[in-house]
Amino acid sequence: MKIFKEFPTKLPEFKYLNDIESPKDLKLLEEGQLVELADELREFLLHSVSKTGGHFGAGLGTIELTIAMHYVLDMPFDKIVWDTGHQAYPHKILTGRREKMHLMRKKDGIHAFPSITESEYDAMSVGHSSTSISASLGMNEANVHLSTKRNIFSVIGDGAMTAGIAFEGMMHAAHLDNNLNIILNDNDMSISKNTGGLSDYLAKVWASKSYKKLKSSGKKVLKNLPGGLHISRNLKDGLKHAVMPGNLFEDLGLHYIGPIDGHDIPLLIKTLRRMVEKKEPYLLHIITKKGAGFEPAENERIKYHAISKIENTPAVKQAKFQDIFGDWLCYKASLDNKLIGITPAMKEGSGMVDFEKQYPDRFYDVAIAEQHSVTFGAGLSLGGTKPVVAIYSSFLQRAYDQFIHDVCLENLDVTFALDRAGVVGEDGPTHSGNFDLSFMRCVPNIVVATPSDENEMWGLLNTCYTHNGPAAIRYPRGSGIGAAIKDKNDAFNMGKANKIRNGEKVCILNFGVLMDRVTECAEANNFGLVDMRFVKPLDEQLLLELSNNYEAFVTLEDHSIVGGAGSAVSEFFAAHMIFKPILHLGLEDKFPAHGSRNEVLEMNGLDVVTLGKKIIGFANSI
Q: What is the mean pLDDT of residues 487-504?
A: 97
Residue 429: per-residue pLDDT: 85
The single residue of 40, 64, 356, 370 carrying the catalytic annotation is 370
Percent of the chain with pLDDT over 70: 87
pLDDT band at 204 (very low <50, low <70, confident <90, very high): low
The rounded distance, in Å, linking the Cα atoms of 364 and 367 is 9
Q: Is 370 a catalytic residue?
A: yes
Name the domain boundary from 232, 267, 289.
289
605 CB burial (10 A radius; 0-12, 13-18, 19+): middle
Of 398, 474, 477, 533, the catalytic one is 398
Give the count of domains, the chain: 3
92, 105, 290, 536: which is the annotated catalytic residue?
290
Q: What is the dihedral of CA 167, 172, 178, 183, to 10 degrees?
A: -10
Average pLDDT, the chain: 88
What sign results for the dihedral spanned by CA atoms 61, 66, 72, 78? positive
Q: Is the peptide bond before 444 cis (omega within 30 degrees of 0)?
A: no
Are 271 and 134 found together in one domain?
A: yes
Asked whether residue 525 is domain-assigned, the answer is yes
Q: What would the pLDDT profile of 105-123 be if each residue is shown by its tens digit?
A: 888 888 888 889 999 999 9
- 398 in a structural domain: yes
Residue 129 maps to a domain: yes
Q: Please spell the DSSP secondary structure of 236-304, one letter per residue.
A: HHHHHHHHSTT-HHHHHTPEEEEEEETT-HHHHHHHHHHHHH--S-EEEEEE--TTTTBHHHHH-TTTT
Structural domain span for residue 114:
55-88+109-289
Same domain for 285 and 325: no
The C-alpha R_g of the chain, in whole angstroms, comes to 26
Read off the pLDDT of residues 53-75 as tens digits, 9 standing for 90 and up: 776 778 899 999 999 999 999 99
Asked if the model's pLDDT at residue 175 lies above 50, the reply is yes
Residue 316 lies in a domain: no
Same domain, yes or no, for 522 and 462? Answer: no
Question: At 408, is the pLDDT very low, low, confident or very high (cuts 50, 70, 90)?
Answer: very high
532 pLDDT higher than 80: yes
Q: Active-site residue 27, yes or no?
A: no
Active site residue 398: yes
Q: Are residues 567 and 456 in the same domain?
A: no
What SS3 string covers 152-188? EEEEEECCHHHCHHHHHHHHHHHHHCCCCEEEEEECC
Give CA–CA dist 610/441, Å, rounded: 28
The model's pTM:
0.81
193: pLDDT confidence band, cut at 50, 70 and 90? low
Q: Quote the pLDDT of residue 392.
A: 96
Q: What is the pLDDT at residue 286?
A: 94
Q: What are 322-361's pLDDT values in tens digits?
A: 999 999 999 999 999 999 999 999 999 999 999 999 999 9
CATH number of the domain within which 572 lies: 3.40.50.920
Between these two residues, 129 and 261, which has the higher pLDDT value? 261
- CATH number of the domain at 155, please: 3.40.50.970
Residues 394 and 338 in one domain: yes
Q: Is the pLDDT of residue 190 over 90?
A: no
Average pLDDT over residues 464-468: 97
